[in-house]
Amino acid sequence: MNATFKPNVVAEAGADSGGLLSVRDLSVSVPVAAGNVLIVDHVSFDLKKAERVALVGESGSGKSVLARAIMRLNDSYRINGRILLEEEDLTAKSEAHMRRVRGRRIGMVFQDAMTALDPIQPIGKQVMETLIIHGTPKRQARERAIAVLKELGVRDAAQRMNAAVHEFSGGMRQRVVIAMALIADPALLIADEPTTALDTRVQMQVLDLLDDISERRRLSVMLITHDMGVVASFADRVLVMYSGRIVEDAPVGRLFSAPLHPYSRSLLEAVPRIDHVVDRLPAVPGTPLPPILRPAGCAFHPRCALATDICRDIVPALRTLADSRRVACHHADTGREA
């Protein structure tokens, strides 16, 4: 997919700049045989109402763990820090309270619609489930499910409520998964790799659908992906994540035109472009280390051509620059000039 920058008109107009989600100094550890491993390492960011933020990075960077921690989906996670949803700290809430938050205030589209849906249950029952759990009468839940499926482009929605999962194509299954996340009209949608395992044509259909729905509903979206082409066509702002840390936070246009962190630059150099013909696309050098082997200092330094002694010894702070971008690199000025 080509990285064509398409700014969000609503967000640029600043029609709604209020805060929705504020993550502060969030760390997430998971238990393993050798002890607890730090997966998400002191992450902080804000998400405004009606804003679309992409969270990008290679597999293993901690993106999905961060999303699940925000939803409080895994009891084994050891969470430190604060997750403020409209100033309500979700880290201090009970599981019973979180069940009221999930679906109604935060919806989530999980990776791979093939496994996110129950192959035994009819489609309609799965779409209705969130409303039923929250106490909506079955008849009203059914009417709402049909309406949302229609909104998402599922033809003959009323007739297909009793259809089995195998009767839907991959693209239609993804629409059903999105319907499950949106049926209770949440303020925030977390979409974890929503285009995984879909061909390019269907990927674009799904992204166009998310684009249309988020704009019409004034929905905040946190899109998790490793596809920079998807980022360019959808997001307002990008959080680049490496080894559990945010290393760059920038508006999408600025990130694509002038990335400051060497990791961000490497990711973008690996994206095919229609205006630049090369014999071979450069890959990000080296391989990411697992969190249990995270090196001292900047975690990216073993793969970075700009690394010096300070990079090997000291973790760079996530600095806010004059243009409100944030970057965690000792040599960000050098990176700007490179």
Angle formed by the axes of helices 138-151 and 170-182, to 10°?
130
Residues 6+ apart with CB under 8 A from 34: 292
Residues 6+ apart with CB under 8 A from 264: 240, 247, 248, 255
For residue 12, pLDDT over 70 is answered with no
For residue 14, pLDDT over 60 is answered with no
Q: Point out the least confidently predicted range of 11-15, 87-91, 278-282, 334-338.
A: 11-15
pLDDT one-digit tens code per residue, 144-176: 999 999 999 999 999 999 999 999 988 899 899
Residue 278's pLDDT is 64
For residue 5, pLDDT over 50 is answered with no
How do 88-89 and 52-56 pair as beta strands? unpaired
Alpha-carbon distances, residue 306 vs 85, 320, 330 (angstroms): 38, 20, 9
CB 311, CB 304: distance < 8 Å: yes
pLDDT band, very low/low/confident/very high, at 11 (cuts 50, 70, 90): very low
pLDDT one-digit tens code per residue, 203-219: 888 888 999 999 999 99
CA gap 139, 290 in Å, rounded: 49
CA gap 25, 82 in Å, rounded: 7
pLDDT one-digit tens code per residue, 17-51: 478 999 999 999 999 887 899 999 999 999 999 99
Residues 6+ apart with CB under 8 A from 161: 122, 123, 124, 127, 142, 145, 146, 149
CA-only gyration radius of the chain, Å = 20
Residue 195's pLDDT is 79
Between 16 and 36, the more confident residue is 36
Does the domain at residues 9-105+186-337 carry the CATH identifier 3.40.50.300? yes
pLDDT one-digit tens code per residue, 235-268: 999 999 999 999 999 999 999 999 999 999 999 9
| Strand-by-strand arrangement of the 319-320 sheet | 106-109, 188-192, 220-225, 52-56, 237-242, 245-251, 326-327, 319-320
pLDDT one-digit tens code per residue, 263-321: 999 999 877 666 666 667 777 888 889 999 999 999 999 999 999 999 999 999 999 98
Alpha-carbon distances, residue 82 vs 18, 91, 219, 332 (angstroms): 19, 6, 22, 28
Six token digits for residue 279: 């014999």
CB 40, CB 10: distance < 8 Å: no
Between 270 and 182, the more confident residue is 182
Q: What's this model's pTM, rounded to 2 decimal places?
A: 0.87
